[in-house]
Structure 1
Amino acid sequence: MKKIERYMTRGIQADVPMEIQLFLWELQTGIRKSNKEIDYLQVYDLIIEEGQQKIRHTSEEPEYEKEYVIQVEEPMTAKIYIIEDDYGDKLVETMLLAEEY
């Protein structure tokens, strides 16, 4: 298995609560373990629903969609991407806000 390096932008560090960041990385790890091939672009739409954090996770190729509802202290509305770059011997994943793309 290739080495995975993970990074996040300043926007993620400044605006997204740590508990949401960790949950998104956990989802990324889970989808990587369950699928041999995943899209280089994973999209996470964060929505506030009844005071809880709803997360809609999608990708295009292969097509994937799943929703989660979690309890967090500070629910938020945002679109977050995790983009993967394959460098042969390692994978680099970067988490960023959609507006930072």
Structure 2
Amino acid sequence: MKIQRYMTKGIQENLPIQLQFALWELQMNLRATEKDIDYLQVYRLSTIVKDSKTFQVIHHEAEKPKYSAVYCLEAEISVKDKIYIITDNYEDSLVETMLFASEY
């Protein structure tokens, strides 16, 4: 099945490209390992500084089926926000859109 990916202008302009790629990768890996995923994936972003290094923490959640995972990546620029990836199913394709929760 074909997957089309989109992002809002807010994501494109305000989320570092490395983090955009990381979130798409997490979404793709989840889709590859789980048979049925929720149409709404929630990514809560926070920051940890340890030993003068900055880390991006990504808490990934979904309601149905219940899913939760936490990832930690070293990052030059970190973000504190909540991001959604919303999936729309069509006959021949899936359309995924990444947006800040505030844009919903």
Q: How many residues align?
A: 100
Query: What letter matches 2:33 in structure 1?
Result: S
* 1:9 match: 8
Q: TM-score, normalised by structure 1?
A: 0.97
Which one-letter code corresponds to 1:9 in the other structure?
T
CA RMSD of aligned residues (A): 0.5
CA displacement 1:24-63 (0-9 Å, x = unmatched): 0000000000011000000000001122100000000000
Q: Distance in 2 between matches of 1:54 and 1:48?
A: 6
The TM-score, its normalising length taken from structure 2, stands at 0.94
Q: Secondary structure at the match of 1:67?
A: strand
Unaligned runs of at least 5 residues, structure 2: none
Aligned-pair CA distance for 1:75: 0.6
Find the aligned partners of 1:52 and 1:68 in 2 and give their Cα distance: 10
Q: Which residue of 1 aligns with 2:32?
A: 33
SS of residue paired to 2:84: strand
> Who wins on radius of gyration, i.e. which is larger?
2
